């Protein structure tokens, strides 16, 4: 691996309190060190912006539903080919790119860690196969827990210990990282063609509510000392008026908070921040959500920012995808996973001229502008749901420049402009805040201690962008900002230069993080025996064949859960 010195860059490293200082970053054997020898390879970053490698907390990049999206949409790929080069494999874009292309395109934007936020446990071996195929990036995946039949039965029977053991066993069995919850209880209902409409509705046949599922899993997440809190896509996503459900979802675990890091992460809040009673009077409730987040340190959120243009919606939320199919008439994939979860995919186009889409666009940005603590709000497009990840630079420019936002707003339908608040918001993100919402904050939220910063001991993941933050005014020259973030000058992964002048020049295999929950070996063994005993009743595969051994992963990296 050798040594590397990134000289004279203008460094933003919020975790270590560095805000735009000109300094050198030394990397040896893949890790940031105090200094390197004079033989080290040198990158001259004079007059350029230096960030830690980007960390994306929520992007659908791998696994069965992403692949279902690829199958559904060959037309998505036809016009966006990536020919092979001396260093890279070929592939296709656009909203659901092929696997190698995902790695290269993220790397070119300076991202080095990306999380797949929803994997059905039964098919997580598939997710790992794809994650292993992604070049350059480090990654992890969140197994879905909100609708596991075995787990819901434990909750129904008030068996917290068994439920805890189940989650611990499952995370370790499939090499997952955190607890993902999608439409709690609603997908079990969807197995019967039904859905739930609020957090106090009863799950058919079980008599428990989403509230109980959320509270139990939040408690379990804390007990197992998982590094990232429960990651929640609430009930009623994508429906007018759903912001109340979102507020209730956040609030239903408030009393479980004992200080420190947030205990619940609400994801792609744009899709869950809707006011109004129908699509005709949809309005932005981002300020209400932001108000709650500002007053409650137990919550963090990410945006799910809408990008006008092509998207492919894909979630575990089967009934939501069916509603979207009903609304749009667009082709629809549904993929139920026995006794665990569901999934759906529907192509979608966000149009600037469309009233609903315009309001949706505003909600994400309003949320980012209204949440005061950048450590608890993260940049995502819920790729590829609200837009492809390649458009992050555009979102960054909107956050840094009121002028950039106004340019879009001026083209939106008048009716939509009345239902949003963005025109009154003059906050403009600083370079430091951008570094927080795209790497430092996300790394912290994930509990990835070697990511998101450039202090000694951090992973040698660095992005050098061709823009001088001391000379460029991002509020004015937002197009320069966009251009710089699209193609990094250099990207370094574990001390190796992987991108140079915006081109991928090397392709190494990244790590896959997984978490070993904090639980006594006796308790884990008891859970294992119990699950093994009833496994055949629930599943169509054998217990031992369900488990993904660490040897199945190309480069596994186990993290012992020790809380925050």
Partner 1 sequence: MPVIQGAVCAFCGCVCDDLEVLVENNEIKDVKYACAIGREKVLNCVKERDPRVLIRENGKFREASLEEALDRAAEILANSKYPLLYGWSNTSCEAIKIGVALAEELGGVIDNTACVCHGPGLEAVHEVGVVEGTLGQARHRADLIVYWGCNPTQAHMRHMMRYSAMSQGIFRSGRKERKVVVVDVRKTTTARLADVFLQVKPGKDYELFQALRMAIRDEEIEAEEVAGIPVEQIEELADMMVSCQVGFLFFGLGLTQSSAKNENIAAAISLIRDLNFKTKWLMLPMRGHHNVTGANKVTLWETGYPFAVDFSHGYPRYNPGETSSTDLLARGEVDAALIVASDPVANMPAQIAKHFAKIPVIDIDPLMTATGLLSDVRIPAAFTGIEAEGTLYRMDGVPLVSKKLVEPPEGILPDKILLQRLLEKVRKLRRR
Q: Which residues bind partner 1 (CB under 8 A)?
A: 62, 64, 66-67, 70-75, 77, 81-84, 89-92, 96-100, 122-123, 125-126, 129-130, 133, 149, 191-193, 205, 322, 325-326, 331-339, 345-346, 537-545, 552
Closest contact distance (angstroms) between CB of 77 and partner 1 is 4
DSSP letters spanning 226-286: -SS-EEEE-TTTTSTTTHHHHHHHHHTTGGG--SSS-SEEE--GGGG-EESSSGGG-EE-H
Residue 560 parent element (H or E): strand 556-560
Q: For residue 325, what are the β-bridge partners?
A: none
Closest contact distance (angstroms) between CB of 503 and partner 1 is 16
CA angle 554, 558, 563 (to 5 degrees): 150
Closest contact distance (angstroms) between CB of 125 and partner 1 is 4
CB 515 within 8 A of CB 227: yes
Closest contact distance (angstroms) between CB of 521 and partner 1 is 24
Closest contact distance (angstroms) between CB of 332 and partner 1 is 4
Token pair for 180: 């993902």
CA separation for the pair 333, 345 (Å, rounded): 5
Cβ closer to partner 1: 1 or 541? 541
Closest contact distance (angstroms) between CB of 315 and partner 1 is 15
For 19, list phi and psi in degrees, rounded to 5: -125, 85
CA separation for the pair 267, 302 (Å, rounded): 5
CA separation for the pair 118, 131 (Å, rounded): 13
Cβ closer to partner 1: 340 or 459? 340
Closest contact distance (angstroms) between CB of 431 and partner 1 is 36
Residue 288 parent element (H or E): helix 286-295
Cβ closer to partner 1: 135 or 441? 135
Token pair for 113: 């860690």
Cβ closer to partner 1: 259 or 329? 329
Closest contact distance (angstroms) between CB of 98 and partner 1 is 4
CB 518 within 8 A of CB 227: no
Cβ closer to partner 1: 68 or 220? 68
CB 281 within 8 A of CB 317: no
CA separation for the pair 56, 73 (Å, rounded): 24
Scanning the structure block, which residue is given the tokens 């109980």? 212
Cβ closer to partner 1: 205 or 207? 205
Cβ closer to partner 1: 70 or 231? 70
Closest contact distance (angstroms) between CB of 88 and partner 1 is 11
Scanning the structure block, which residue is given the tokens 């792609």? 268
Cβ closer to partner 1: 131 or 171? 131
Cβ closer to partner 1: 125 or 175? 125
CA separation for the pair 362, 543 (Å, rounded): 47
């Amino acid at each position: 691996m050798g040594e590397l010195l990134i000289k004279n860059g203008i460094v933003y490293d919020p975790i270590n309190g560095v805000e735009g200082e000109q300094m050198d970053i030394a990397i040896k054997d893949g890790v940031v060190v105090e200094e390197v020898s004079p033989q080290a390879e040198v990158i001259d970053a004079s007059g350029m912006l230096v960030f830690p490698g980007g960390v994306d907390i929520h992007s659908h990049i791998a696994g069965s539903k992403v692949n279902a999206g690829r199958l559904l949409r060959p037309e998505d790929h036809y016009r966006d080919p990536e020919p092979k080069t001396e260093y890279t494999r070929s592939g296709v874009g656009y909203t659901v790119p092929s696997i190698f292309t995902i790695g290269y395109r993220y790397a070119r934007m300076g991202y080095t860690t990306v999380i797949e936020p929803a994997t059905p446990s039964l098919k997580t071996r598939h997710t790992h196969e794809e994650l292993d195929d992604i070049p350059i990036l480090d990654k992890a995946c969140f197994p879905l827990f909100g609708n596991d039949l075995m787990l819901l039965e434990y909750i129904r029977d008030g068996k917290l210990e068994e439920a805890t053991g189940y989650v611990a066993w499952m995370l370790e069995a499939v090499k997952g990282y955190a607890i993902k919850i999608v439409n709690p209880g609603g997908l079990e209902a969807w197995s019967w063609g039904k859905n739930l409409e609020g957090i106090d509705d009863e799950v058919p046949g079980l008599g428990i509510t989403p509230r109980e599922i959320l509270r139990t899993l939040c408690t379990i997440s804390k007990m197992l000392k998982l590094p990232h809190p429960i990651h929640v896509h609430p009930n009623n996503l994508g429906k007018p008026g759903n912001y109340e459900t979102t507020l209730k979802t956040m609030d239903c675990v408030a009393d479980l908070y004992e200080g420190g890091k947030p205990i619940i992460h609400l994801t792609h809040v744009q899709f869950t921040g809707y006011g109004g009673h129908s699509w005709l009077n949809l309005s932005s409730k981002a300020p209400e959500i932001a108000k709650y987040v500002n007053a409650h340190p137990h919550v963090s959120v990410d945006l799910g920012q809408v990008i006008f243009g092509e998207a492919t919606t894909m979630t575990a939320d089967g009934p939501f995808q069916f509603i979207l199919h009903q609304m749009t008439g667009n082709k629809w994939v549904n993929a139920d996973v026995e006794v665990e979860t569901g999934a759906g995919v529907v192509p979608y186009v966000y149009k600037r001229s469309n009233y609903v889409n315009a309001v949706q666009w505003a909600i994400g940005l309003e949320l980012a502008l209204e949440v005061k603590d950048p450590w608890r709000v993260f940049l995502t497009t819920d790729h590829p749901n609200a837009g492809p990840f390649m458009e992050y630079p555009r979102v960054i420019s909107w956050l840094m420049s009121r002028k950039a936002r106004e340019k879009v707003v001026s083209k939106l339908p008048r009716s939509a402009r009345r239902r949003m608040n963005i025109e009154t918001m003059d906050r403009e993100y600083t370079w430091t805040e951008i570094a927080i919402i795209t790497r430092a904050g996300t790394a912290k939220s994930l509990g990835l201690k070697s990511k998101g910063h450039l202090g000694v001991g951090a992973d040698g993941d660095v992005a050098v962008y061709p823009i001088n933050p001391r000379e460029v005014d991002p509020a004015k020259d937002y197009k320069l900002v966009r251009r710089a973030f699209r193609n990094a000058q250099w990207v370094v992964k574990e001390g190796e230069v992987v991108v140079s002048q915006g081109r991928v020049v090397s392709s190494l295999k990244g790590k896959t993080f997984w978490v070993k929950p904090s639980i006594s070996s006796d308790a884990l063994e008891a859970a294992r025996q119990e699950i093994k005993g009833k496994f055949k009743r629930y599943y169509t595969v054998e217990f031992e064949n369900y488990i993904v051994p660490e040897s199945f992963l190309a480069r596994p990296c186990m993290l012992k859960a020790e809380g925050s």
